[in-house]
Amino acid sequence: MTDSTETGRHSTGMARRSGDPNWWRQASVYQIYPRSFADADGDGLGDLRGVTAKVPYLAALGIDAVWLSPFYPSPLADGGYDVADYRDVDPRLGTLDDFDRMTQALHAADIKIIVDIVPNHSSDEHPWFREALAAGRGSPARDRYIFRDGLGPDGSRPPSDWVSHFGGSAWTRITEPTGEPGQWYLHLFAKEQPDWNWEHPEVRKDFETTLRFWSDRGVDGFRVDVAHALAKDMSEPLRSKPSVADELTPVDGKDPLFDRDEVHEIYAQWRKVFDEYDPPRSAVAEAWVPAERRPAYASPEGLGQAFNFDLLRADFDRRAFREIITNNLGQAAASGASSTWVLSNHDVVRHATRYGLPAGHDLGQWLMGDGADPEVDYEAGLRRARAATLLILALPGSTYLYQGEELGLFEVADLPAAALQDPIWQRTGRKLKGRDGCRVPLPWTSAGPSFGFGPDGAHLPQPAWFADAAVDVQDGQAESTLEFYRAALRLRRELQGFEELTWTDGSADDVLHFVRPGGWHCITNFGRSYAALPAGTCRISSGPLRAGELPPDTTAWLTR
């Protein structure tokens, strides 16, 4: 029995053709968190010159594009997602000339560049926010942000009970230029990240200027942070407008803060900007919305693609993977976009660790215990991580890889409290550790003061076991996770065809099997016993095979 799923007759088997306007549809994209990738100047922070120095590594890996997390001037209240200047480079990370040289080096290696754009909020050190504070109540400068009077006779209570994503109230009260307690401003994240007022024409125009600024410098696409939160209903009374977040957002588009229908008017205008370029600039939305709301963000008239985060929250389970894949291919077909597949990123516990813990375990609680209870089954975690990666690399659509997963890195769960940088740690009263454990600087060499990350130390402490996972240890070793990723990415480009798959349901209950055009079979064994493999030539597997059989927690690609 088979079930065919078609997401569009788009073929990007030659995704790296520089002039192909559809290069993004089935691209392999590698996320770089620049402060933790490579440090060229020895100050402990990764930088743009560090990225440029590693372009040969990226080219050898076989990716189609780099997604660069924020590199803009920032006081680092939230790892760079608090932007003080959208059209410059943080001096600690380099200069605009460094950015241009990095872009040229990537393009010379036939690698596209996608940059993060952070449109929901700025840093409180942005010149416009400083102007708003100085200008006083009722000034035009304050209208670019969301300021409101407080409740109560003295205005001492926040305008609503909305909660920040990082804990505590989403409102902070300011001191007016007169020295008196004053208005409150909205921040859905840290208090150092005031939300923009997207009803203001100057805000809209300034972001269009930013999109053109980076596009003119050769940027090929944009990852849009918190894409679902720009449009807000700020009509009074705010206290009568309860809000929920993330996957709980209602499907009617009526939440006051998230996923409002009006947000797509903003992205329709952005699409006009993207289409000024040849080829048009791509974009992908980070939109934590119900599945049925995702296609609107991915429409050709909008951003063109939206992240599917479903696998970030799924156990290593056949039924869960099958359902998620089927649903997302259907959404892609509905929007005319291509699917996106993600197992790790800068905001979540690394998937090699997740798969080594008991299914459904509370990751926040586990992090608070420094990763000691329960202990991670590292062997099983890495085995399943490799199997899941090979599975998603075979799917139609774009695959987003996170730096270090090609080394088989696990979460660094035992970072000391004094080293933690994520604002979640302080904002929750030290009840949640946050995301630092997946942002520890990469190990490039098995020796040295920072395992080759830079000539001196690293801004987050690296564990001793990084020595065994370093690039120079894995390079050239046939069974290493690094060489596995390189081989899989090379083969993916060779086999990639039309955005279609056909499910094959004649396999065992714990086996997931689908076929891509050209006779490319992907088979994953989620079970505990060996499974029979169909006839064909095995092109790659995530672990060793036994004659004619697929071991548990293993994926294989066959061709016929």
Nearest to 55 by CA among 40, 69, 41: 40
Residues in CB range of 261: below 8 A, 6 or more apart: 231, 253, 296
What type of residue is 543? G
Nearest to 386 by CA among 525, 554, 520, 208: 554
Crossing angle between the packed helical segments 481-495 and 378-393, to the nearest 10 degrees: 20
Q: Which residue has the tokens 């080293």?
A: 419
Strand order in the sheet with 181-186: 147-148, 181-186, 171-175
Catalytic residues: 225, 276
Q: What is the CA radius of gyration of the chain?
A: 24
How would DSSP label each residue in 332-371? Answer: HHHHT---EEES--TTS--HHHHTTS-TT--HHHHHHTTT
Angle, CA of 156, 76 and 46, to the nearest 5°:
170
Q: How far apart are CA 31 and CA 346, in angstroms?
A: 8
Cβ atoms within 10 Å of 433's Cβ, excluding its own: 23
In the three-class reduction of DSSP (H, G, I as helix; E, B as strand; rest coil), residue 400 is classed as strand
Handedness of CA 87, 176, 146, 249 (dihedral sign): positive
Category of 432 on φ-ψ map: left (φ > 0), alpha (ψ -120 to 50) or beta: beta
Q: Is 403 exposed, middle or buried (0-12, 13-18, 19+ CB in 10 A)?
A: buried
Q: How far apart are CA 125 and CA 130, in angstroms?
A: 6
> What tokens appear for 69 in the block?
């997390």
End-to-end Cα distance, the chain: 19
> What tokens appear for 52 in the block?
């440029």
